[in-house]
A and B are shown apart, each in its own frame.
Chain A
């Protein structure tokens, strides 16, 4: 029998989870769909603290919505108030303070490994909502959930990750998670934004990985097109950014050669990677992903707080 105990557990890195555990989270997420529509009091009396040391309004709203839909309450701060919180206080101290207020903490922090450190100090579960340019496990879980929901299963899919694979934090988590399944992974990026060696290192002996720069070449073969934004703020200098910005453009012309049942995902917000004309195609699934993010976060909250087993 598998031990699928989630109560009290931190969600720091997708690497901490087995395929069975991820499948279990995806199943619980599915069971959250009706509760997300109707509401529930499953987590009544519980408090989520959202500590966002850098801006990500979407992720914060998604966590807060998930908690509210389960009948829980939300406290926390966003980047605007960070200055006062940080007045000489380090993350470890903030965590040891907030753990007295909340039953679970969702943390977003600009430094790599921040969630891991927080988890070492916290008595209550830490949900990593993105730390540094590193992992973003709840995003990866909602991406998997979307693929499973849209395609029926993840095994057998040919999946392309496109754009900034070096600095983009969502793609690292996603690549790790996908490596637990029987898939073929295409990594398409400008030369200077290739997937970091430690990520490649960790996945290449588990799944077949093809690295390249040409999206047009692979578009006819793939089932899932996962597009990421090339983020200006992650670049060391403006000249480097100018060189690669706008390298990939998903438009109707490109999609002519795509499979009819291709699905296009994007962690949002998008810049101009996906043309507005694509939004109306049946392949566009990025706005459905937002809903899926809520149900996956509901599942995680319910699991780590021991409300579902």
Chain B
């Protein structure tokens, strides 16, 4: 247990994102728009041994509680993640990530000829066709994005 505590220390207030598929922690951080320059304590653990998934990633963010919209964004890259909101070293809320039916403004369409990639006042918009495997359909051009496309254009 000493070893584990060295790797991932407890936080006082903030969010613990657990059960991220091994190797996707940095994508989770990216989709949340966190750069690491926010002057917050953050711990990112990658490829930690896990009973459920063999290996998993964990992200701990001190001093920031994620809201529902942010939690849902995580579903795009880590559909099995669990989220614990921590206050005074205790878990006060447990959230499951849930992919919204419509994803607006986060992703760019992979079709270079899509009107949403031009200089129009259009916000990108995708409809979730399937969660596993992830399949998103562009509102404007109808192109389908898979998880690999999503990861590439974060």
Interface positions, chain A 52-106, Cβ under 8 Å from B, are 90-92
Contact string against A for B residues 103-137, beta-carbon threshold 8 Å, 1 for contact and 0 otherwise: 00000000101111011111000000000000001
Contact: B120 with A134, CB < 8 Å? no
Q: Name B's interface SS.
A: loop
**Which of B10-18, B26-34, B140-148 participates in binding chain A?**
B140-148
Of the candidates A117, A133, A198, the one whose C-beta lies within 8 Å of that of B115 is: A117
Is B61 in contact with chain A by the CB < 8 A criterion?
no
Decide yes or no: A116 and B115 within 8 Å by CB, A90-B121, A92-B120, A198-B137 being known contacts. yes
Is A114 in contact with chain B by the CB < 8 A criterion?
yes
Q: Which B residues are in CB contact (< 8 Å) with A197?
A: 144
Contact: A117 with B140, CB < 8 Å? yes
Is A308 in contact with chain B by the CB < 8 A criterion?
no
Of the candidates B115, B121, B142, B143, the one whose C-beta lies within 8 Å of that of A111 is: B115
- What is the distance, in angstroms, from B147's C-beta to the closest C-beta of chain A? 16
- What is the distance, in angstroms, from A222's C-beta to the closest C-beta of chain B? 27
- What is the distance, in angstroms, from B108's C-beta to the closest C-beta of chain A? 13
Contact: A111 with B113, CB < 8 Å? yes
Is B80 in contact with chain A by the CB < 8 A criterion?
no
Contact: A90 with B118, CB < 8 Å? yes
Q: Which A residues are in CB contact (< 8 Å) with B140?
A: 112-113, 116-117
Contact: B120 with A112, CB < 8 Å? no
Contact: A113 with B137, CB < 8 Å? no
Contact: A132 with B121, CB < 8 Å? no
Closest residue on chain B to residue A197 by CB atoms: B144
Not counting A113-B115, A117-B116, A132-B141, a sample of 13 additional A-B residue pairs whose C-beta atoms are within 8 angstroms of each other reads A90-B118, A91-B115, A112-B114, A112-B140, A112-B142, A113-B116, A116-B139, A116-B140, A117-B122, A132-B115, A134-B141, A198-B137, A198-B142
Of the candidates A90, A91, A134, the one whose C-beta lies within 8 Å of that of B142 is: A134
State the total of A-B contacts with C-beta under 8 angstroms: 56
Closest residue on chain A to residue B129 by CB atoms: A201
Q: Which B residues are in CB contact (< 8 Å) with A112?
A: 111, 113-115, 140-143
How many residues does chain B have at the interface if contact means C-beta atoms less than 8 Å apart? Answer: 18
Q: Which A residues are in CB contact (< 8 Å) with B122?
A: 92, 117, 120
Q: How far is the CA of A92 from the CA of B120 in the complex (A)?
A: 6
Interface residues of A (CB under 8 A from B): 90-92, 109-114, 116-117, 120, 131-134, 197-198, 201
Closest residue on chain B to residue A201 by CB atoms: B144
Q: Which B residues are in CB contact (< 8 Å) with A111?
A: 113-115, 118
Contact: B144 with A198, CB < 8 Å? yes
* Chain A to chain B contacts (Cβ below 8 Å), 10 pairs: A92-B121, A112-B113, A112-B115, A112-B141, A112-B143, A113-B114, A113-B141, A133-B113, A198-B137, A198-B142
Q: How far is the CA of A117 from the CA of B120 in the complex (A)?
A: 9
Closest residue on chain B to residue A135 by CB atoms: B142
Q: How far is the CA of A111 from the CA of B115 in the complex (A)?
A: 5
Q: How far is the CA of A144 from the CA of B142 in the complex (A)?
A: 22
Is B150 in contact with chain A by the CB < 8 A criterion?
no
- What is the distance, in angstroms, from A130's C-beta to the closest C-beta of chain B? 13
Q: How far is the CA of A235 from the CA of B142 in the complex (A)?
A: 20
- What is the distance, in angstroms, from B26's C-beta to the closest C-beta of chain A? 30
Q: How far is the CA of A197 from the CA of B118 in the complex (A)?
A: 24
- What is the distance, in angstroms, from A196's C-beta to the closest C-beta of chain B? 9
Q: How far is the CA of A110 from the CA of B144 in the complex (A)?
A: 19
Q: How far is the CA of A131 from the CA of B116 in the complex (A)?
A: 13
Q: How far is the CA of A198 from the CA of B115 in the complex (A)?
A: 18
Closest residue on chain A to residue B122 by CB atoms: A117
Is B138 in contact with chain A by the CB < 8 A criterion?
yes
Decide yes or no: A113 and B142 within 8 Å by CB, A91-B115, A132-B113, A198-B137 being known contacts. yes
- What is the distance, in angstroms, from B96's C-beta to the closest C-beta of chain A? 29
